[in-house]
Amino acid sequence: MGTHESELLDVETLREDFPILQREFNGEQVVYLDNAATTQTPDPVVDTIADYYRNTNANVHRGIHQLSQEASIAYEEAHDRLAEFVGASGGREEIVFTKNTTESENLVAYAWGLAELGPGDEVVLTEMEHHASLVTWQQIAKKAGADVRYIPVTEDGRLDMHEARDVIGPDTAMVSVVHVSNTLGTVNPVAELADLAHDEDALIFVDGAQAVPNRPVDVEAIDADFYAFSGHKMAGPTGIGVLYGKQHLLEEMDPFLYGGEMIRKVTQEDAQWNDLPWKFEAGTPVIAQGIALAAAADYLDDIGLENVQRHEEALANYAMERFAEFDDIETYGPPAGEERGGLVAFNVESVHAHDLSSILNDHAVAIRAGDHCTQPLHDVLGITASARASFYVYNTRAEIDKLVAAIDDARQLFA
Amino acid sequence: MGMGSDMYRQQILDHYKNPRNYGELEDATFSHVGENPMCGDEIEMHVKLDDDEEEIEFVSFTGDGCAISQASASMLSEKLQGTTLDELEAMDRDDVIDMLGVDISPMRVKCAVLAEKVAQDGADIYKGELDVEKTKTEE
């Protein structure tokens, strides 16, 4: 391709793992720039799912037969693999498989929040939280009679850390923050926020849905008490999310969902809980998805998360540079040239984000338009909707050029 | 790259850029507002009925949002003049899409039907058959 991204990643070769990128609409090859919503799934991960169903499929932890043993071992080892992927030295006991990041948030909010929060307690959120974190804690705080406070966002799309020191105080019981904003692209100083929380004997929950897919994450270096992410945003399948929790916290918590698999002994009157992490995985769990997510972790480690991070940041900055050529494009979040996740939210002055997305679709350019599940942040920004282009390992500068050309087409249509 | 899209034919763009009957209506019989919460489209329809309160004499609208929602409100304001409340009540999604004269992609249907739903809810509220402050389009 002769462009800078080839210095970091062999994008041409990587793209061969994603046949979906060869699809054409209206005679134009798809330009997939909606990766913050979901990433495409490479062949090795798809093959893992197919291979599991073709050769190993069985329920886990209950059959004495060979297939069940193989499925159980692969499923358990997938927990170890994900623990290693995010630096959880406690291994599988600190890794719960859920449905998605949202369910991971709900698990902690219900199992820890309802038990521990009460009147006088404060849950600290940020103005850039995704609804997964914001709505969950807002509602659990209401049920518990606790208050919610927000760390504000500065003009240039960062958390106001000066304010954070005031907002996080002696009444704070939980701080729930997004690691990388899905709208602003801001990379938040989560380790610093963890220190602030711990200084007040509060816990910190980090929403890593937009961080784990594209940068090395070490939950212990952050000192996160809980850390959540989703499979389908990191080259893995839908239907699986991960909750990391410090072992002693998960041990102290009651279960979130009840049923089979999560119990050790049941009588007519009572039940005892299974060991970690199974205590939090009621019912038949996400077996194929868990095993496939471990394959996605392998795939990303083969590329190297540092390389993914540099590639994405280079693409995001290139998009910022191209957008800066036009007076009628407003972008949100940190300015060009500064650290950001691989996404840019923007508006074109004369074209509503939904119209823009529809017109880009006619050019086979896939972006997201709407509020990106951050309505309170859009209120702070004073807008109702925005368009968002988000990148992954297989995207190129040439695709960003196509995006910019398609935006120009929309602009002319609405001129 | 070819200009344009099936959804943005000249008529839609014309109504979006030059909305008909845009503005408040001082002697409106009823006004009602609605929004498309996911998009931020907001439309208020103002309807003036004749003395028998059956025929629609005049319709205006205010609001802002995407081209599909605004063009739909503009075209509906013209279409409704001289029709009856019963005819308004009988309108459905297909009538709106016929009126727009373009294929509306599934994700954009709620933008297209916002004005119609607002006018219908406004009429129902006026007749005392409905009690909502604001119409919200659902999937």
In this prediction, residue A63 carries a pLDDT of 80
> Cα separation of A52 and A70, whole Å?
10
Report the alpha-carbon distance of residue B23 to residue B40 in Å, rounded: 19
Please give the positions of A annotated as active site. Answer: 373
- Which two three-digit tokens encode residue B68? 């599909």
Record: contact A413-B7, CB cut-off 8 A: no
Q: Does the domain formed by B3-127 have CATH 3.90.1010.10? A: yes
**DSSP helix/strand/coil, A154:** coil
Report the CATH architecture of A3-32+304-413.
Alpha-Beta Complex (3.90)
Interval A319-335: pLDDT, tens: 999 999 999 999 999 99
- pLDDT at residue number B6: 73
Q: Is B11 on the interface with A (CB under 8 A)?
A: no
User: Two tokens at B11?
Assistant: 């008529």
Does residue B1 carry a pLDDT above 80? Answer: no
Record the tokens describing residue A173, joined without a space: 């019981």
Strands A172-178 and A263-266: unpaired
Contact call for residues A355 and B68 (beta carbons, < 8 A): yes
CA–CA separation, A112 and A60 (whole Å):
27
| Residue A47 to residue A97: CA distance in whole angstroms | 21
**pLDDT at residue B4 in the model:** 47
Q: What are the residue ranges in chain A where pLDDT is below 70?
A: 1-7
Chain B contacts in chain A segment 355-414 (CB below 8 A): 355, 358-359, 361-363, 370-371, 383-385, 405-406, 409, 412-414
Chain B CB contacts of A354 under 8 Å are 39, 66, 68, 108, 111
Q: Tens digits of per-residue pLDDT, A110-153?
A: 999 999 999 999 999 999 999 999 999 999 999 999 999 999 99
| Tokens, residue A281 | 């995985």
Residues 44-83 of A with CB under 8 A from B: none
0.90 surpassed by complex ipTM? no
A408 CB-near residues (< 8 Å, 6+ apart): none
Query: pTM surpassing 0.90?
Result: yes
Give φ, ψ of A329 to 5 degrees. -105, 125
User: Which pLDDT does position A2 carry in this prediction?
Assistant: 42
At residue B5, the pLDDT reads: 62
Residue range(s) in chain A whose domain bears CATH number 3.40.640.10: 46-301
The reply to whether CATH 3.40.50.2000 applies to domain A46-301 is no
Q: Are A85 and A301 in contact (CB under 8 A)?
A: yes
Taking a C-beta distance cutoff of 8 angstroms, is the pair A399, A33 a contact? yes
**Rounded Cα distance, A177 and A301, in Å:** 26
The H or E element containing residue A386 is strand A386-390
What would the pLDDT profile of B10-42 be if each residue is shown by its tens digit? 899 999 999 999 999 999 999 999 998 777 789
The closest CB to that of B67, out of A352, A370, A406, belongs to A352
pLDDT digits (tens, 9 = 90+) for B41-93: 899 999 999 999 889 999 999 999 999 999 999 999 999 999 999 999 999 99
The 10s digit of each residue's pLDDT in A283-317 is 999 999 999 999 999 999 999 999 999 999 999 99
The pLDDT score that the predictor gives to residue A7 is: 65
Question: Which residues, in sequence order, are bridge partners of residue A149?
Answer: A124
What amino acid is encoded at A169 in this protein?
A: G
Chain-chain contact of A354 with B39 (C-beta, under 8 angstroms):
yes
**Total length of chain B:** 139
Contact A410, A365 (CB under 8 A): no
Residue A92 is predicted with a pLDDT of 98
Go through A104-122 and write b for each residue having 16 or more CB atoms within 10 A of its CB, e for each that does not. bbbbbbbbbbeeebeeebb
Q: Are B100 and B75 in contact (CB under 8 A)?
A: yes
Instruction: Give me the total of CB pairs closer than 8 Å, taking one residue from chain A and one from chain B.
Output: 52
* Contact list, B6 vs chain A (CB under 8 Å): 362
A interface mutation test: which of B6, B66, B105, B136 has the most A CBs within 10 A?
B66
By the 8 A CB rule, do A408 and A392 touch? no
What pLDDT does B139 receive?
Answer: 47
Per-residue model confidence (pLDDT) at position B63: 94
Interface of B with A in 29-68 (CB under 8 A): 38-40, 65-68
Tokens standing for A131? Answer: 């609804």
Domain span(s) for CATH 3.90.1150.10 in chain A = 3-32+304-413
